[in-house]
Structure 1
Amino acid sequence: MMKIIYTLFSCLIFTSCFNIERNCNDYKTGTFQFNYMEDGVEKTGKFVRTEAYSIDYFEGKIDSSSVRWINDCEFILTNLHPKSNQEKRSIHMKIISTSKNSYTFEYKYAVKEGNRPDRVVKGIAKKIE
């Protein structure tokens, strides 16, 4: 009996250490900045998100996407003016955790293509406005 109680107590302690805070509503709208790597060079991107749209600013270019929220922490981005078949593919974004002024996210294509495994990319976006 003591062994069962000890096991349950241990599980409770270990799982409570992994409680991740997610205040996703704080990050549904605003102006954000994030760093990314391109050809081995670290670059900074910026985007403005409203409830329905995301406007991206990369290297002097502006791109826009529609935003469709699945739940408080997940949404689908669909490029409004795709220039290639690759840009026609929607992206599934998921907020993994939040902090005072940033959130950690992961994204992948919303629809799996063929038998290839999904490539999940992680990043951190900082709210600047």
Structure 2
Amino acid sequence: MKKLIYYIPLLLLFSACYENQVDCESFKEGTFIWEQESGGKKFKTEFTRIGNLQIEKFENEIDSSRVEWINDCEWRIIPINPDSNADSRAYLFKILNTSKDSYTFEFKQSGREQVYSGTATKIK
């Protein structure tokens, strides 16, 4: 029992060193790349967030959305000029963890249950 008492502070110190660090503020603005695989094919999306605007480039298509921050780590993307009613739905994003130049996130389309995830890398 005495040995266990000596190990508890070491375990607490170790776990504090490996805790996920989340610095969402560093990723509110900038240019990012997100790569995903679907159907055996790799897709790349480049997007830039400035203030309440996000401009996204995917397969030579450029799209603009309004950004509404819920808190430092969660935001909503709302299409500015959707082509259809289905395209007008907002997307909800949440940063799960961060590193020096990237963040892992999850997102879903408003009104849908399916949750997707990815990692965005800041390039500017």
Identity %: 39
Match of 1:125 in 2: 120
Any idea what SS the aligned residue of 2:87 has? Answer: helix
User: Equivalents in 2 of 1:21, 1:37: separation in Å?
Assistant: 27
Structure 1 match to 2:95:
95
Letter in 2 for 1:125: A
Q: Summarize the alignment of residues 34-113 of structure 1 with structure 2, pairs less than 5 Å apart.
A: 34-110=34-110, 112-113=111-112
Aligned-CA RMSD value: 2.1
Distance between the aligned counterparts of 1:16 and 1:119, measured in 2? 33
Aligned to 1:25, the other structure's residue is in SS state helix
The structural deviation recorded for 1:74 is 0.4
Over 3 Å counting, the alpha-carbon distance change for 1:15 and 1:85 in structure 2 is farther
| Matches of 2:50 and 2:20, distance apart in 1 | 25
1-structure distance, mates of 2:17, 2:87: 40
State the TM-score, normalizing by the size of structure 1: 0.81
Deviation digits for residues 16-58 of structure 1, max 9, x if unmatched? 4762111111000000001012332011110001120110001
Unaligned runs of 5+ in 1: none
Greater mean alpha carbon deviation, residues 14-23 or residues 97-106: 14-23
Q: Give the secondary-structure state (helix, strand or coil) at the position aligned to 1:82.
A: coil
Runs of 4+ in 1 over 6 A off after TM superposition: none
TM-score by length of 2: 0.84
Aligned length: 118
Structure 2 Cα separation of the partners of residues 43 and 101 of structure 1: 20
Q: Distance in 1 between matches of 2:76 and 2:40?
A: 28
The one-letter amino acid of 1:61's match is E
